[in-house]
């Protein structure tokens, strides 16, 4: 290792441990051990422009082992991104852009919000898929405008989490040749050596997945071996590459290197001084950046500017020859929608009695026909979720062609990969599975909400109406559970025309995910000539069918709205006037003005009943303390869906009884 490289690597290490020590919280060990591989990658291979972190054809780097965030912050500051030394000095503090784990909305150059292990690695798979898709659509034989790599730095914890098994398996199947994972193989986790719980041959596992596996035996000092491995990874176009770099966690610390003591806690003031002295640093200097090292890192600015300028020249030539594609490219990258994108959305009439999953499939196909960058798939359930994009072909990881992604039975990774597609930009992804399996996808849904990603999560088979498959496949608590996630819009449409509006909302939302919840069983399509327009969905909730001077309000979602309408008729026969409210999206409705909310669900009317085939917890928000929530607070059973709905009290008669009891009192 030459002297300048050694100085630069130690600068990463020392800056990282100083920030952790000042915060008195953090993970110093990974930045110290992984600094050499990160240095080689960022200085010799990573195509990026610190002055334009959003350059479309940049390489993506994801720190999946997000607990080692100071490694990334050090690299960003040193190479010239808009992350100052003062920002780093406030590491992990209130208001800091250098948060405890990397957050994509805070610091420029952070490609993905990471921390929950395995999510970032899976995001990188999605980024590599986005690169292939955009390359397949926009590259021409004489002009290449999409040609970049997706890198992830993963740790032992990532390798243990099941989500990475799923993601790696799919990446190998798709033969994503522009995906590279660097494995910080330090064999230490928080509780001690990984041998306590993790003794498998990781390299053989990845070979079985279909990856190219490369090994660096000395990741502490052998920069040439790291460089050779990266060169070999980039040269392999038929397979993703997995580089196993054996490192020493906490490298340089006299007493904590190689042990779990360097993993999740500051080294301590005395050990920091000893480490600095051991690495040839002045032990009394804090946040010291040698001018020679900083100048060396900042060459990334000029390299990045040159790389982007060369790309811009290619792009301009391509755009001149392909003006329509160029216009499409800009819209896709900006997250816009084509003019008239919704002109082909279907409309449904009362003669159309079909499940909302069926109408949903028709809507998805219409969207795909107008929005070329809309793509997604399901967890081996397309014949049931009905989410295949008709005529759009199957996604091919090598050519990038096709818009139907076959994720296989991999819900955990599916959601995180979709997030990676959205992080990358230029595409609008969706996923689909049975609603009960949203529990498998939930961590990724939560990450999408945190990062404000425009991902559409489709969940079908939404209640005990699933029927014969029994309680293991019948969602009960899932609907309310998703509503607990901040910044997630959960929409459960009542009929086919509400489905159209739900997807319209999902496509137009640019600052967060939308979950569309659909039913397996057939439901009537409401006669909108007699009832309110489905456009009321755009406000989250609306009066579907009113009554003069209503004495009661019936509030429902999904297939249970039809039950509310049936109860309304029966109540009228008894001389009780009831209003029916469809409330498909709580989050949007809650964002409306208090005046609008009260115009839909008047506070003056105490007789309120909610009907929803899910847990009743939370419905007090809309029905009040005196109201009645009809739901299911236990698991379902095996039997025909219609029978279960009746046996568990989802009938018009049950609603009538609840209302009459309140109105009489």
What is the chain's alpha carbon radius of gyration, rounded to the nearest angstrom? 28
Q: How many C-beta atoms surround the C-beta of residue 60 within 10 A?
A: 26
Q: How many C-beta atoms surround the C-beta of residue 340 within 10 A?
A: 8
The residue among 592, 603, 633, 599 whose CA lies nearest residue 615 is 633
The sheet carrying 578-582 orders its strands as: 542-545, 578-582, 552-556, 608-611, 628-630
For residues 127 and 59, the answer to whether their CB atoms sit within 8 Å is no
Task: Supply φ then ψ for residue 517, to 5 degrees.
Answer: -105, 120
- The tokens for 338 are 């084509």
Helices (H) and strands (E) in the chain, counts: 24, 20
| Residues constituting the chain | 665
Which residues, 6 or more positions from 43, have their beta carbon under 8 angstroms from its beta carbon? Answer: 8, 296, 297, 299, 300
The set of catalytic residues is 411
From the number of C-beta atoms within 10 Å of its C-beta (0-12, 13-18, 19+), residue 139 rates as middle
Distance CA 439, CA 445 (A): 10
* Bridge partner residues of 609 (DSSP): 554, 628
* Bridge partner residues of 514 (DSSP): 456, 489
For residues 434 and 407, the answer to whether their CB atoms sit within 8 Å is no
Distance CA 418, CA 338 (A): 22
N-term to C-term CA, the chain:
86
- The tokens for 551 are 């004495």
For residues 134 and 427, the answer to whether their CB atoms sit within 8 Å is yes
Q: Is 182 in a helix, a strand, or coil?
A: strand
- The tokens for 446 are 């939560």
Q: Is 517 in a helix, a strand, or coil?
A: strand
Which residue is listed with tokens 């295949």?
A: 388
Tell me the H-state helices in 322-355.
323-334
Distance CA 463, CA 18 (A): 53
For residues 510 and 451, the answer to whether their CB atoms sit within 8 Å is no
DSSP annotation of 82 reads S
Q: Determine the Cα angle at 632 with ends 629 and 637, to 5°.
A: 160
């Amino acid at each position: 290792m030459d002297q300048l490289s050694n100085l630069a690597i130690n600068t990463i290490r020392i800056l990282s441990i100083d920030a952790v020590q000042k915060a008195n919280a953090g993970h110093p060990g990974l930045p110290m051990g992984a600094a050499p591989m990160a240095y080689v990658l960022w200085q010799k291979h990573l195509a990026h422009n610190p002055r334009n972190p959003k350059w479309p054809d940049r390489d993506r780097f994801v720190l999946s082992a997000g607990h080692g965030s100071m490694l990334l912050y050090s690299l960003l500051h040193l190479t010239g991104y808009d992350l100052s030394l003062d920002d780093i000095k406030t590491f992990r503090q209130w208001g800091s852009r250098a948060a405890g784990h990397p957050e994509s909305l805070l610091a420029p150059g952070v490609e993905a919000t990471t921390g929950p292990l395995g999510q970032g690695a899976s995001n990188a798979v999605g980024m590599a898929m986005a690169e292939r898709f955009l390359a397949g659509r926009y590259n021409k034989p004489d002009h290449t405008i999409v040609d970049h790599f997706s890198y992830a730095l993963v740790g032992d914890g990532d390798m243990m989490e099941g989500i990475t098994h799923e993601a790696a398996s799919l990446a190998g199947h798709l033969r994503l040749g522009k995906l590279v994972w660097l494995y910080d193989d330090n064999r230490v986790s928080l509780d001690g050596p990984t041998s306590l719980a993790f003794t498998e041959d990781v390299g053989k596992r990845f070979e079985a997945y279909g990856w190219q596996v490369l090994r660096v035996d000395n990741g502490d000092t052998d920069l040439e071996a790291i460089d050779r491995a990266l060169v070999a990874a980039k040269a392999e176009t038929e397979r993703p590459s997995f580089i196993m770099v054996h490192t020493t966690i906490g490298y340089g610390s006299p007493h904590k290197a190689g042990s779990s003591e360097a993993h999740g806690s500051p080294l301590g003031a005395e050990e920091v001084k000893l480490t600095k002295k051991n690495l040839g640093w002045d032990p009394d200097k804090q946040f010291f950046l040698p001018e020679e090292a900083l100048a060396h890192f900042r060459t990334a600015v000029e390299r990045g500017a040159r790389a982007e300028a060369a790309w811009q020249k290619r792009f301009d030539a391509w755009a001149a020859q392909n003006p329509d594609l160029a216009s499409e490219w800009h819209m896709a990258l900006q997250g816009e929608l084509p003019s008239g994108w919704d002109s082909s959305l279907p409309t449904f009439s009362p003669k159309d009695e079909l499940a909302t999953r069926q109408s949903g499939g028709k809507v998805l196909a219409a969207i795909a026909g107008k929005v070329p960058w809309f793509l997604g798939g399901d967890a081996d359930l397309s014949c049931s979720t009905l989410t295949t994009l008709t005529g759009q072909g199957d996604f091919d990881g090598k050519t990038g062609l096709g818009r139907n992604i076959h994720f296989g039975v991999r819900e955990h990774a599916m959601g995180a990969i979709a997030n990676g597609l959205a992080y990358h930009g230029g595409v609008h992804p969706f996923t689909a599975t049975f609603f009960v399996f949203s529990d498998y996808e939930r961590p990724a849904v939560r990450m999408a909400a945190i990062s404000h990603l425009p991902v559409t999560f489709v969940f079908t088979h939404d209640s005990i109406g699933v029927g014969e498959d029994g309680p293991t496949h019948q969602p009960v608590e899932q609907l309310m559970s998703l509503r607990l996630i901040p910044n997630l819009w959960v929409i459960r449409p009542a009929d086919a025309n509400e489905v159209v509006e739900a997807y319209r909302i999902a496509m137009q939302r640019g600052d967060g995910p939308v979950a569309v919840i659909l039913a397996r069983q057939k439901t009537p399509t409401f006669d909108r000539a007699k009832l309110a327009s489905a456009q009321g969905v755009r406000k989250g909730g609306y009066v579907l069918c009113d009554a003069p001077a209503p004495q009661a309000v019936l509030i429902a979602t999904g297939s249970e709205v039809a039950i509310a309408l049936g109860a309304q008729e029966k109540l009228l026969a008894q001389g009780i006037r009831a209003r029916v409210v469809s409330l498909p999206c709580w989050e949007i409705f809650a964002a409306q003005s208090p005046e609008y909310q009260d115009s839909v669900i008047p506070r003056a009317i105490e007789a309120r009943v909610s009907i929803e085939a899910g847990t009743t917890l939370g419905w007090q928000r809309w029905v009040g303390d005196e109201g009645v929530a009809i739901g299911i607070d236990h698991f379902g059973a095996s039997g025909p869906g219609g029978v279960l709905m009746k046996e568990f009290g989802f009938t018009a008669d049950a609603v009538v009884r609840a209302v009459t009891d309140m109105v009489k009192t």
